[in-house]
Amino acid sequence: MSEAPPEILLLKTMHPLVEAAFEARFTVHRLAGVADPQAKLAEIGPRIRGLCVGGQVDAALMDKLPKLELIANFGVGYDGVDAAEAHRRGIVVTNTPDVLTDEVADLAVGLVLATVRRLPQADRYLRAGHWPKAPFPLTASLRGRRVGILGLGRIGQAIAHRLESFGVTIDYHGRSRKAGIAYTYHDSLIAMARAVHILIVVAPGGDDTRKLVDAPVLEALGPEGILINVARGSLVDEAALIAALQAGTILEAGLDVFENEPHVPAELAALDNTVLLPHVGSASEHTRTAMAQLVVDNVLSWFEGRGPLTPVTETPWSPPA
């Protein structure tokens, strides 16, 4: 008799490629749409060996999944998964690095251009029929600007690389200076905010970076300053940002991420100096398909005994000796 297929739990509806690949190979359980998810968890939890998520996984959930071996996160950012706790329990966590780097970097550059040159505002101006009456007001410019990148990881470097072609100067801040990188390093975020005109947030979310961009950092960015966030809403003190935008102590903000997604404060939407996107950094057909394939490849590789392809740093893996 052949072995029963591993049982996998999907916390929400996943990309169709993930759903189809798992259906073909595993016994798949879903919590989405279930009337009593806790009862369902109590019933199937003891048999679950793989968990596929784009969201929160804490110790309480892991308690209900005593045979869990692998948590496959759909996305490069895994701040929702308690990876340190997973490591303590011998559970491997995987994410989807690299395949979305270029897409997110493109979007960040799009937000830079959209905020500096006020592209959505100009579009609205034209559609509202104002152009025949008066030209659109002159905007800020990228000429002679300095850009600070908070988090010069893979995506941060891809953004910097693109921005070099615009002739801007690049600075960065992170936990440590990067070897072999010629951009100016600041060991303090507030010092970098003071030095640059545009601050791009692209560092990981989580407790270590919560509200790093606070009122003093925004004040340091100054009245010509533009804040771009393509990372996580948790890195920015949203109330302080709203206050700074309302008071004009910074010029504009371009945001793809928010503190409480998918809910966006009405104050941000009411402002004319914001460009707001519904967390679409990686949301192209091409890139979401590549992310889905990497999730599938990680899970198949694990259950075929070949180990994870892209484990996160907290749960390193090496083949059994």
Q: Which stretch binds ligand 8YV (CB under 6 A): 41-49, 123-131, 244-252, 276-284?
A: 276-284
Q: Which is nearer to ligand 8YV, 191 or 280 (CB)?
A: 280
- Smallest distance from the beta carbon of 30 to ligand 8YV, in angstroms? 16
Residues forming beta bridges with residue 185, ordered by sequence position: 172
Q: How far apart are CA 120 and CA 277, in angstroms?
A: 11
Distances (CA, A) of 95 to 16, 48, 201: 18, 19, 20
Residue nearest to ligand 8YV (CB): 75
Phi-psi bin for 33: left (phi > 0), alpha (psi -120 to 50), beta? Answer: left
Alpha-carbon torsion angle 274, 280, 286, 289, nearest 10 = 170
Q: Distance between alpha carbon 150 and the CA centroid of its chain, in Å?
A: 13
HEC sequence for 206-255: CHHHCCCECHHHHHHHCCCCEEEECCCHHHECHHHHHHHHHHCCCCEEEE
Would you count residue 233 as binding ligand 8YV (CB under 6 A)?
no
Query: Catalytic one among 25, 30, 154, 279?
Result: 279
Q: Which stretch binds ligand 8YV (CB under 6 A): 68-76, 132-140, 146-154, 266-274?
A: 68-76
175 is catalytic: no
Q: Which stretch binds ligand 8YV (CB under 6 A): 28-36, 57-65, 275-283, 298-306?
A: 275-283
Cβ atoms of 291 and 265 closer than 8 Å? no
Q: Which of 234, 274, 282, 310 binds ligand 8YV (CB under 6 A)?
A: 282
Query: Catalytic one among 49, 173, 186, 232?
Result: 232
- Smallest distance from the beta carbon of 214 to ligand 8YV, in angstroms? 22
- Retrieve residue 7's tokens: 């049982």
Phi-psi bin for 114: left (phi > 0), alpha (psi -120 to 50), beta? Answer: alpha
Q: Which is nearer to ligand 8YV, 75 or 148 (CB)?
A: 75
Q: How far apart are CA 197 and CA 221, in angstroms?
A: 7
Region 91-120 residues binding ligand 8YV, contact defined as CB under 6 A? 100
Q: Which is nearer to ligand 8YV, 243 or 283 (CB)?
A: 283
Q: How far apart are CA 193 and CA 172, in angstroms?
A: 10
29 is catalytic: no
- Smallest distance from the beta carbon of 133 to ligand 8YV, in angstroms? 41
Region 71-90 residues binding ligand 8YV, contact defined as CB under 6 A? 74-77
Cβ atoms of 276 and 269 closer than 8 Å? yes
Query: Catalytic one among 23, 161, 261, 306?
Result: 261
261 is catalytic: yes
**Active site positions, annotated:** 232, 261, 279
State the residues that interact with ligand 8YV by CB under 6 A.
Answer: 54, 74-77, 100, 279, 281-282
